[in-house]
Every structure is written in C-alpha cells, then in structure tokens.
Structure 1
Amino acid sequence: MTVTLRGRSAIGVTALLIAGLVAGCEDEEDPPQPLESSSKPAPPPTSATTEPTPTGPVEPTLPVEAEPETKEGATAFVQYYWQVVSFARRTGDVRLLSTLSVPSCEGCNGGIKSISRVYKRGGRILGGSFELKKAIPGQTPSGAWNVSTRVKVNRSRTVGAGDLNQNVRAGELNFLFGLERANGSWQITFLDVP
C-alpha cells in the first residue's frame, strides 16, 4: 500500500508516528536515493544526533538549549522530541520516547504503541525521519506552554509487519504541542494536528 500525505482526512497522530499520515499535508517528490541509504540531513543546532554509526543509530541526548523554561528552550525541546521519534522509528526502541510525555498524552501514547506494534511483529520502519522546519512557541497567561510547528517527514516504508506494511511519500505536517515543566524538565501534555 502506498500512502500520500495530502487531504483533510485526519488518520491521527498515532498513524503519523508509525507512517507519517496526518491531515493537511502536501505531496513532495520522493527522494532519489533508496530508503536504506543514510543521507546527511542538515545538522541540528545542538549536539543531539540520530545519525547512524557503524553499529546503528545513536540515541539522541537532550541538548543544553532545551533545558531553560523559555521560548527557545521549548522550541529546542520540540526539536529534540522529533529526533527521538525518528530514533524510535528506526530502532523500535521507544523507552526514551516514553519518558518525554505525560501518561495522559493520547497522541504520544498512540504513536509509541504503533511503533511498538511494527517491531513486535518483526517488522521495521525504513526512512521517515522528522525535521522541524518552523516553530512558534508561546505561553498563556496561566503559564501553560504551547508550540505550533511545521515538520518535514521524509519518505518511509514499513516492511515485515504484515498488514501494517506500507509506503508513505514525503510531506510537511503541522502539529500543536502542549508542554509543561515537571521537576525542572519539559514534558509533552498533548500532541495534536491543528
């Protein structure tokens, strides 16, 4: 099955984290290289990386820029979140991803479960990394934080997972994050498609 990122039918954040499907996306040309190759995306402005090593992808580390309770800190945390999502999709390891949100974040939990389902079936997700293109952070008068984002999702293919197998074209997606501070760290309270 091939899926394109277009239209207004929201399949949900769960599907996004597994396959890159969400409403309001525009098709882009597929990259010319095969999914298995490791292209060099623009390096993040921090030390966090998900670039593969000879032994596999490296788990991202929280950059110092993501620590303060500022607009810049909120933006850096959301960028780090997408790096962790990309890592989880490549490896099936969702442990770090699970620590970045509150237990009640349905969009976050659905995505984590979707990634886990693919790997529990012996499948893999090839490609489909996420790159933060634009972020508009804000804080409400009550102190709640939110970040409106535009994210580039690269082409992906899910293989070896039976009826979960699919091909997804590249595209750009909009997301709205709710954030809170807990014990001096950011946590995602909600992840939604506006």
Structure 2
Amino acid sequence: MTGTRVVIAVVGALVLGVTACSGSDPEPRVAPPSSTSTSPTTSPSPSAPTMPAAARGTDAASAEAFVRFYWEMVNYAQATGDVAGLRLLGDKCIGCDAAIKFIQSSYEGGGRIIGGVGRPAKFQTVFVTEQGKRWASTEYRVKTTSQRVDRPGEHHDQTYPGGLTDVRMYLEPTNGAWLVRSLVTL
C-alpha cells in the first residue's frame, strides 16, 4: 500500500459517507563529496501545477479534469512538502485534510516523500443535488507508484508498494469550478 493509499485508507476509516465531509520545505540531503565528482548535481525543483481551463465548468468533463488536477497537486505536495495549493482545493473535507496532515508530518524535521505518484483513470461521474446545487459524484481508480517516506533518524522510514485504489469524490460547484467536499475509498 503506498503512502497515498495509506492516506486514502485513513480517509476511508474516518469518513463513512458524504455527510462526514459536508460541512515546511525539506532540508536538502547532499551526499558526501566523491573523489570522482567535481561538482554536485541538482535536479530542478518541480513547479506547482496550475488549474487547466478544462477543469473549470460544471459538467462531467470539467469534474474529471479537476480530479486529474487535484492529483497533480497531491503529487506536487508529496514531492515538495508544499501543501498550500492542495489546501485550497478542498473545504470541510476530512479526506483532503488527512492527506495534507500526512504530507506535513512526513516533511517535519527534514523528512521527505519519494515516489507515490498517483494517476486517476476510469472515471464515472454522476450528478446529485445537494444544498440546492448540482454536485458531481466522481468515482475513479488511482494507480500509484511505489513510495518511500524518508523520515529523520534511523528506523523511522516507511515503504509502500504501488497499487490501485478505487475512490469517490464529491465536488461542489463553486464560481464556475469545483471544490472537493468528500474524498473516500470504495
């Protein structure tokens, strides 16, 4: 189970349905200089994703594009520890908050997350009326890569294999776009 799947599993345990959700940079780790290397190599820092135009709207295609964007933000947050953008995509969503808390705790004291990239696919979107609005209920499968949570100190790391997880998100239409109100495993 990947860390992403662990977050989703925690969400599943915390959230029993839609009603439950209604309502620091890591220190760089540098290897000791080697006698054969003349200068350290660095990889470019990832840039925060921006919401695509396709994710704006209130139809099934825009809901699914939003879910893809949400997972781009999860992947970015896991790679960098920067959860600011991810935090803006959900409101009163226990699953979203659990994911953010997992990422933040993983980066505390210089930890980091390696891998665990999630890619959603196989979407099925239907609409429900909640609070006088047409909300999207989007079910999909997330495929995740293997992941290592590298925590400071010895014997604290966690490793998870890649895998598949079925997920449901309830999305509230807000200002011509979407806001996650629930994230649960199926």
**TM-score interval for Structure 1 and Structure 2 normalised by the shorter chain:** 0.7 to 0.9
Match of 1:171 in 2: 163
Task: Kindly indicate whether the alpha-carbon contact (under 8 Å) linking 1:105 and 1:191 is maintained by their aligned counterparts in 2.
Answer: yes
Cα distance in 1 for partners of 2:113, 2:77 equals 9
Cα distance in 2 for partners of 1:161, 1:14 equals 24
Say which of 89, 110, 113 aligns to 1:122: 110
Q: 1:12 to 1:128 in 2, by over 3 A?
A: closer
**What displacement does 1:107 show?**
0.6
Higher helix share: 2
Match of 1:94 in 2: 83
Say which of 2, 8, 22 aligns to 1:13: 8
Q: Which shifted more, 184-193 or 157-166?
A: 157-166
Q: 1:182 to 1:75 in 2, by over 3 A?
A: same
Match of 1:137 in 2: 125
Question: Secondary structure of 2:58's partner?
Answer: coil
Task: Kindly indicate whether the alpha-carbon contact (under 8 Å) linking 1:118 and 1:161 is maintained by their aligned counterparts in 2.
Answer: no
Cα distance in 1 for partners of 2:110, 2:51 equals 29
TM-score (norm 2): 0.74
Q: In the alignment, is residue 66 of structure 1 matched against residue 52 of structure 2?
A: no
Q: 1:191 to 1:11 in 2, by over 3 A?
A: same
- Per-residue CA deviations over 1:89-112 (Å, capped at 9, x if unaligned) read 00000000000001x100100110
Which 5+ residue runs of structure 2 have no aligned equivalent? 12-41
Q: Which has the higher relative contact order, 1 or 2, with Cα contacts under 8 A spaced 6 or more apart?
A: 2
Task: Kindly indicate whether the alpha-carbon contact (under 8 Å) linking 2:90 and 2:179 is maintained by their aligned counterparts in 1.
Answer: yes
- Per-residue CA deviations over 1:17-54 (Å, capped at 9, x if unaligned) read xxxxxxxxxxxxxxxxxxxxxxxxxxxxxxxxxxxx95
Which 5+ residue runs of structure 1 have no aligned equivalent? 17-52
Question: Secondary structure of 2:98's partner?
Answer: helix
**What displacement does 1:164 show?**
5.3
TM-score (norm 1): 0.71
Q: In the alignment, is residue 83 of structure 1 matched against residue 72 of structure 2?
A: yes
Give the alignment's Cα RMSD to 1 decimal.
2.2
**What displacement does 1:183 show?**
2.4
Question: Secondary structure of 1:140's partner?
Answer: strand
Q: 1:125 to 1:11 in 2, by over 3 A?
A: closer
- Per-residue CA deviations over 1:118-153 (Å, capped at 9, x if unaligned) read 112210000110111211111025522110010100
Match of 1:159 in 2: 150
**What displacement does 1:184 show?**
2.5
Match of 1:113 in 2: 101
- Per-residue CA deviations over 1:31-82 (Å, capped at 9, x if unaligned) read xxxxxxxxxxxxxxxxxxxxxx952112111111111111000000000000
Question: Secondary structure of 1:147's partner?
Answer: strand
Say which of 184, 187, 194 aligns to 2:179: 187
Q: 1:11 to 1:59 in 2, by over 3 A?
A: closer
**What displacement does 1:15 show?**
5.0
Match of 1:33 in 2: none
**What displacement does 1:185 show?**
2.2
Count, aligned residues: 150
